[in-house]
Amino acid sequence: MPTTESPSATRPKLLLLDPYPRNNPYHMTASERRSIWFPKLSLPVIAAYTPSNWDIELVDEATTDIDFDTPCDLVGLSVMTCYAPRAYEIAEKFRARGKKVVLGGVHPTYCSDEALQHCDTIVCGEAEDLWPQVVADFEAGTLKRIYRMDQFPSLDNYKPPRIELLSPDSYMTRLCSFTTRGCHFDCEFCSVSPFNGKTTRRRPVPEVIAELQHAKEWLRSDIIERMTRGSLLNALSTSLKIWVGLEEGSIVAFVDDLHNSHRAYCRELWQALKSLNIKWGCQSTLFLGDDRELVKLAADSGCVSVFVGLESLSEDSLGETNKGFNQVRKFEDQIKMFHDHGIMVNPGIVFGFDNDDESVFETAVNFLTRNKVELAYFNILTPLPGTALFDRYKQEGRIIDHDWAKYDGKHVVYKPKRMTVDQLLEGFFWANHQFYSWPCIWKRVAHTGQRLIPRLEMNWEFRKLIYRTTPKGTLSPLADVLKNLQAKLPTCETHQLIPNALLPHTSQPTKKQDLCLNVKAWRHETFSALFIELEGTLDHLNARELLARITQAARNAKMDIVVNFEHLKHATPKAIHTLLDAEILKAISPHANVRYRKLKEAFQAAVIEMPLGDWEFFEDAPSHA
């Protein structure tokens, strides 16, 4: 193939590309992008660290088609896993035209051998210190195949991202910046701490303020220039959008993965932000909501929105993914703290953890609606290369699809434990449609007095995107059965508590979390039975409630039911007697067989005193999946 001439005899040109498949069903329309989307900073940062003698063009394929005949000398792409196939396709087309192509980002870092099959060079890790050397080697004709970061770049004297290279009027805002990198948490599914480090680095506050002041002034000039070039109607429309908060640049987006990683730093930064008189949003932990003083400071400095990684409403699922610092019992109060200060809460919810069953979808939607969260981002658990989750699922042989294009949080690429692939996908669709239905939107948003129009606009655009791109989805009848079975039931009577003989000796329960019966339920696929796990403390009152729920489940599901006592810490004799009520068990038997697993072994002293006659419900039952 003939090569394209350099655009200039004296100034070389760098073409930076952010790949996005044009046929992606989730491709946003222009209005959707302007309401709910903001750009990634990786390529504007690369542009900032490119020598000044180079001309640079930046193309985000989500907003602009790529011209493969664009005159250029060097092509660079930032590659996320779900966009890797498209990135490889783009790279091959430019290489066929004689161009050198460099790939960087998370995916080439962790799939280096694969990426090298489609490009000339890869950059592994954060690129700020590496990129000037890449350019110098290209100019000298000595470009290497791999450049690997040997230490994390310093964030002192950081060069501001060249956001002016981004396409205008294509995003919610181009006013994007960051203050920290890295994450001291170690969530199993997340690639942030593996890629950016398990500690946080912070930019000097004066440098952040100076960057934002300059960017704010630049964008204001850019908007004024566009208004004066257009018609009077366009100018009036833009002015109205600015007034109600819909115009690009009406909010600054901090794209840190953990903006509030250091409280003293946040106090300094947020105090300094007051002088800029801006509105801003960030990604934060939900437990920031435990600190009223800090939330108030954030609001006073202009914070209007926080994205929080809620992930799950199941303590077991949070523990499974190393996110036990999220405490479900505090979620409602923490959300309320943000709302009390006028800050919009946008939770991220992940479906498909090993402890998740079909009940998680309705539980999540009901909780988010009841607590009036303004937006939510639902995703299917995805084992991304470089994460501990990917390594675990690969070792367990549970990855069933290796098409990287499906690693976008909207497809099921592994075998779930307590759901089928179809059940997980259908539930994901159902949750999106339910959450962005008009009745749900109104329940969630109508309460607010702050930025009501932008919040309605964002929900409207999300609704358009969801209803245009995803099937409606359905939940099976079993989902409701499981939801009604699972509960935390208070324990009121602690007289004559018997410890579980299968567990190490445990003292009498004194903590509030031990004075309850935790009922977990899921479908045991191997034995086609409902499996109920009991934890905590059982008295006759919550035993009666448990039997009522089992009776209802048997009638609705018509499946055998296994109740496991192996991990129950304490029970009263009266509770055991309640569960062995022959009349109740006989009433259940036309619908399902009930089996008590490990009851005799755990609480033999209580069981042996009861004249039972028929012991068939003690027959050995399967352990949990």
Angle at 144 between CA 138 and CA 150, to 5 degrees: 110
Domain with residue 512: its CATH number is 3.30.750.24
- In 326-365, which positions are buried (b, 16+ CB within 10 angstroms) versus exposed (e)? bebeebeebbebbbebebbbbbebbbbbbbbbbbbbbbbb
Q: Is residue 162 part of a domain?
A: no
Which structural domain, as residue segments, surrounds residue 252? Answer: 172-475
Shared domain check, 440 and 337: yes
Q: Is residue 160 part of a domain?
A: no
Shared domain check, 490 and 468: no
Shared domain check, 534 and 468: no
Shared domain check, 269 and 284: yes
Instruction: Report the number of distinct structural domains present in the chain.
Output: 3
Give the pLDDT mean for 450-477: 91
Shared domain check, 393 and 248: yes
Query: What are 276's two structure tokens?
Result: 């800029």
Cα 323 to chain centroid, rounded? 12
End of a domain among 452, 475, 498? Answer: 475
Q: Is residue 64 part of a domain?
A: yes
Q: Which pLDDT score is estimated for 69?
A: 95
Q: Which pLDDT score is estimated for 261?
A: 85
Shared domain check, 198 and 106: no
Q: Is residue 4 part of a domain?
A: no
Q: Which pLDDT score is estimated for 271?
A: 97
Supply φ then ψ for residue 582, to 5 degrees.
Answer: -60, -35
pTM over 0.85: yes
Q: Which pLDDT score is estimated for 35?
A: 85
Please report, as a single letter, which amino acid is at residue 98: G
Domain with residue 358: its CATH number is 3.20.20.70
Shared domain check, 590 and 461: no
Q: Is residue 623 part of a domain?
A: no
End of a domain among 444, 460, 475? Answer: 475
Q: Which pLDDT score is estimated for 615?
A: 47
- In 263-281, which positions are buried (b, 16+ CB within 10 angstroms) versus exposed (e)? eebbeebbeebeeeebbbb
Q: Which pLDDT score is estimated for 195?
A: 87
Q: What rounded mean pLDDT belongs to the chain?
A: 89
pLDDT in tens, 211-268: 999 988 887 777 666 667 777 766 666 666 665 555 556 789 999 988 888 999 999 9
Shared domain check, 113 and 199: no
Q: Is residue 140 part of a domain?
A: yes
* The pLDDT of residue 141 is above 60: yes
End of a domain among 454, 475, 496? Answer: 475
Shared domain check, 178 and 57: no
Shared domain check, 205 and 103: no
Smallest CA-to-CA distance from 553 within 502, 604, 606, 594 is with: 594
Shared domain check, 489 and 457: no
Q: Which pLDDT score is estimated for 1?
A: 36
Q: Is residue 339 part of a domain?
A: yes
**Separation between Cα atoms, residue 422 and residue 457, nearest integer Å:** 32
* The pLDDT of residue 113 is above 90: yes
* The pLDDT of residue 512 is above 70: no
Domain with residue 85: its CATH number is 3.40.50.2300
Shared domain check, 547 and 460: no
Q: Is residue 154 part of a domain?
A: no
